[in-house]
Amino acid sequence: GAGVSQSPSNKVTEKGKDVELRCDPISGHTALYWYRQSLGQGLEFLIYFQGNSAPDKSGLPSDRFSAERTGGSVSTLTIQRTQQEDSAVYLCASSPHMTGTNQPQHFGDGTRLSIL
Amino acid sequence: KQEVTQIPAALSVPEGENLVLNCSFTDSAIYNLQWFRQDPGKGLTSLLLIQSSQREQTSGRLNASLDKSSGRSTLYIAASQPGDSATYLCAPSTGGFKTIFGAGTRLFVKA
């Protein structure tokens, strides 16, 4: 597709269950970002992937959160043993990478996660 | 740790007004700064990106300026329209391309 695709668009699950959120970046974009946007809050950086480099995981809030990026393309954000405070919109973005500069990030529409 | 503040938090103006949205950040060692808009229930749309070596960028009715040394950026919107109603987010990127977002300015333009 032409843009960043995220699935599912909405996810409702019970507290304690594991969830997987998927992000398909724009073809050719080597940088991929995950953010979390809680109700009434700003965007919170979670994790950043760039090519084959080790990801920047400094924003992950706890060890229940993990993310993978397979083949330098699709990424999966996994939340284990979900808690009610994990309820938020999870946004993925991608950008091309040019040495020494950033390029604009292109965002998906997000996955709205609700923990009951 | 980078902290980003946007003022005002909310703004309501009549159609046709020129307006300025303000952003300040605490760590001036940035690679660039982006301005985004977010419509309800949607992701973010990049409006303007200013590299650290630049002072401003323009796109149509939008102009963004950057004063890196003082940790400030402004987004100027000329001749505002109802379709400009959205939340505007300021986002500087620091080392490692980590992007930190402000809480945003919610803009409502009345017809």
Contacts of B99 in chain A (CB under 8 A): 33, 45, 105
Say yes or no for a CB contact (<8 Å) between B49 and A102: yes
Contact yes or no for A56 and B93 at CB 8 A: no
Distance, C-alpha A56 to centroid of its chain: 12
| Residue A93: alpha-carbon gap to chain centroid | 7
Burial of B36 (0-12, 13-18, 19+ CB in 10 A): buried
The nearest alpha carbon in chain A to B37 belongs to: A107
Give residue-wise pLDDT tens across range B45-98: 999 999 889 999 999 999 999 999 999 999 999 999 999 999 999 999 876 567
Whether chain A has a CB inside 8 Å of the CB on B101: the answer is yes
From chain B residues 51-90, the ones with a CB under 8 A of any chain A CB are 51, 89
Residue to substitute from A101, A111, A114, interface B, most B β-carbons within 10 A: A101
Task: Write the pLDDT tens digit of every residue in A69-113.
Answer: 987 789 999 999 999 999 999 999 998 875 555 678 899 999 999
Residue A3 CB burial class (10 angstroms; 0-12, 13-18, ≥19): middle
| Host H or E run for residue B66 | strand B62-67
pLDDT tens for B83-110 read: 999 999 999 987 656 788 999 999 999 9
